[in-house]
């Protein structure tokens, strides 16, 4: 079911619109160092995982730079499209692991490699991040109380997290990515659990 959503342009357009809204909120606040005006200073990105027809929506990561000479501090807003420095898009990172709850079989691995270019080692690393690293992040330590009754099954992440958001598949995925967006800027992740891969 997540595979079908990843093939729909509406999902990618929604995520782009949310990123624009998050960026506008950061821009409106101004520089957190000096209060100066923030100018657009987007990063070029070449993310993996998007179908070719949606690639244009992910060619840049929204970011800003302070316009005050001598400050020039960068302000990169949270994102629902990108999971920090990961090269795969956030929707792919979350939904593919959720689809692989019962493990990575050769047949599943071949299908995912053909559709998204994701190899078995990458999928295993992602599953490990969800099961071992994510639960130790400062972000999750602070946020897990929202899901206390009943608690999230850590061994079933991210599927168990996705299931806590209401609506259709696309709505759950968007809500989950919005929830995870603080992880995409860096400060919400402790040094011991930095996101790589």
Q: Which of 38, 124, 45, 20 is nearest to 75 (CA)?
A: 38
- Distance of alpha carbon 72 from alpha carbon 74, whole angstroms: 6
Q: What is the pTM of this model?
A: 0.86
10-55 residue pLDDT tens? 888 899 999 999 999 999 999 999 999 999 999 898 888 766 566 6
pLDDT of the chain, 197 residues: tens digit per residue = 666 777 777 888 899 999 999 999 999 999 999 999 999 999 898 888 766 566 677 889 999 999 999 998 999 999 999 988 888 889 989 988 888 876 778 888 888 888 888 888 998 899 999 999 999 999 999 999 998 888 899 999 999 999 999 999 999 999 999 999 999 986 433 333 333 33
């Amino acid at each position: 079911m997540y595979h079908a959503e990843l093939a729909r342009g509406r999902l990618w357009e929604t995520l782009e619109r949310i990123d624009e809204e998050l960026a506008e909120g950061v821009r409106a606040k101004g520089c957190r160092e000096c209060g100066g005006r923030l100018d657009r200073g987007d990063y070029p990105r070449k993310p993996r995982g998007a179908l070719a027809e949606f690639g244009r929506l992910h060619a840049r990561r929204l970011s800003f730079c302070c316009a005050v000479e001598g400050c020039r501090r960068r302000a990169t807003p949270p994102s629902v499209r990108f999971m920090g420095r990961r090269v795969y898009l956030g929707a792919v990172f979350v939904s593919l692991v959720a689809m692989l709850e019962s493990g990575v079989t050769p047949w599943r691995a071949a299908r995912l490699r053909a559709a998204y270019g994701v190899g078995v080692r990458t999928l295993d690393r992602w599953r490990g991040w969800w099961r071992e690293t994510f639960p130790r992040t400062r972000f999750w330590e602070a946020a897990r109380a929202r899901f206390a009754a009943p608690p999230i099954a850590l061994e079933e992440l991210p599927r168990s997290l996705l299931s806590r958001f209401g609506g259709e598949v696309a709505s759950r995925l968007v809500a989950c990515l919005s929830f995870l967006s603080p992880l995409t800027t860096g400060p919400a992740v402790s040094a011991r659990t930095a996101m790589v891969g």
